[in-house]
A and B are shown apart, each in its own frame.
Chain A
């Protein structure tokens, strides 16, 4: 019935559904990275954190039967990785970008190692809320089956925007990111602020990982994340360290990432891999357009090594 009549309309619909489904990990990682980078440090290791989060969420959900415990475990794992990153970076003369690369490799390796026995079993998955009950078009209903984590992520973005502007914590993080000397002069430990900011960032990235293994695609395997973490880090740069822009950028990315599978579902299979690379090409293109060698980016925390 509707299936046939929709025809090519399935593509934008699937992209729309994908924007919501696929964007959730991007959203969590970019919001987490936004907090970390605002405090003046860049954590490239969130790619590894994402995979670790996915694995630990799946494992805990499988063992305990509760997917929400899995989400919590993923967050805690992420926070521990964040603490490791911040701990090493607080040593003198240690480069935060290099530590991020190391943790990217370590997180991926550790997740594959510990996750080996988890490829076979099926864990309890996160439930979805059916927002499409009013419609009888199956594709639309599928697109509107929305996970609670997505809603939480959407809620965190304005909350973070508000917190950066008005709360004491937001001000402290921004001070540490703009001028470590000023924060020190005010009597605050910059290392401690950054430790906390990196741990919170890792927590959110871990939760982003739990979405991958517990909702969409909803299983654990070694090809689960291919660069979503690093794409999300790049996304923070052109979202100009603004949590609300991170939200819109994540949605755009989710849509781009859903393009390949959407086209495949209507029978356009040639160039499938190229369409799958759409988010990376989009990231690169947007970075080329928005960056400039002559000035530092507006909104960039002054202490950030990547913008100096």
Chain B
């Protein structure tokens, strides 16, 4: 039997290596392999996307990942669970609701997928964005579980009476006047939207559930999934009333009907107008927000507080002002330390949820990192070949495609449409101005302003492309969004007329079965080889099977 401690073979092998080779091996160990030599695709186990081993990024960055991302986030997640409602509530929630148990336990793999290949400040700043989203997610589902009558033997406790439920595209800011006494938690943000990014398997149950009751499969799968969680009786009963809206489109109106049926609670409908450029429509929207405030006063018995509203809006404006600073660095330098997926997800989450302590904490950390990269002129994505702007709505099951695209092709997604939707602060100098700006913000909802908000807004792409110094467009093509489908040909014409390099990413928002991740990669590979005539930076990432991955 071979002696496992016999190292003579190893010694002989080392002896044969020349000094240069040894030095190179040590350098790769110390600094991590340079971009072109990483072969990240070889780290995956077949189909599952699990790693044979996690990436060795050099001593410093591997230890940073181990201590400051992996271990730090496991520990802070437990602390967050305890802070926001306790481990017992969490365990009860996991046992009762598929969307939390199946989705959020493997959350660190979500970090892994989004942060692959990153080094130094880009790794640190992007990871802080993920930390912010995790904290906010735990805060919300723990509030649901704390207030949920189903987990507390039918009891309507204090938390239940002090929680406001709403649709995920109702901006959290409209509840600021009551934010010192009430928590607002959207019904779909955590059970649906975030799950698709973390574990794309979960949502399929809900899409199938809504089709199983005879509804057609061709409307937007987001609307299907959001209705499906109600059909599956998988929404906690955590609030005495709800604010709903038509979200971005007509399919969501059907979702609202089902929610009205299954919630069986007082509901106020706060529509999002389609033609939001019309000043009369804005007036109408302002009146509707005021009506909703009256509804909340009536339901809660607590009067509207303008002081509280202004206090929170000022805090939200601080977040927006830092976001503008970030955009400035992203647009005009090579020192922006946030990768495409962290930028997109954090920004849409933060701007839709509204003010939250964790966003300020994350922004403070990111500001420090960004100031250093700018001061030291650190090229954060040194292998950038193209600066890409991503436009329209992204595939939720493959939001980390841009991490892959940078590692494989040097495509650096600098900015995306969802980040740019709420390009405004809100005036707080008078009630009238505040209400007017809040109506504007509400009308610029996700999937509304630049996705189905009319051609003028869809075509804001050209302006932002120039502003962010991008030379390429990643154009999302949500196959089941009738609004965007209608504009496909117009974009094709414009790309040709303007001589813009653009590739399409077809997808079905949360449903990974319609266009697989491998198919998305194949389309980009084809474009990069046949149109751009470029060679991949990491050929091991061209083709791999991740069909079963989270």
Do these two chains interact?
no
Chain A residues engaging chain B, CB cutoff 8 angstroms: none
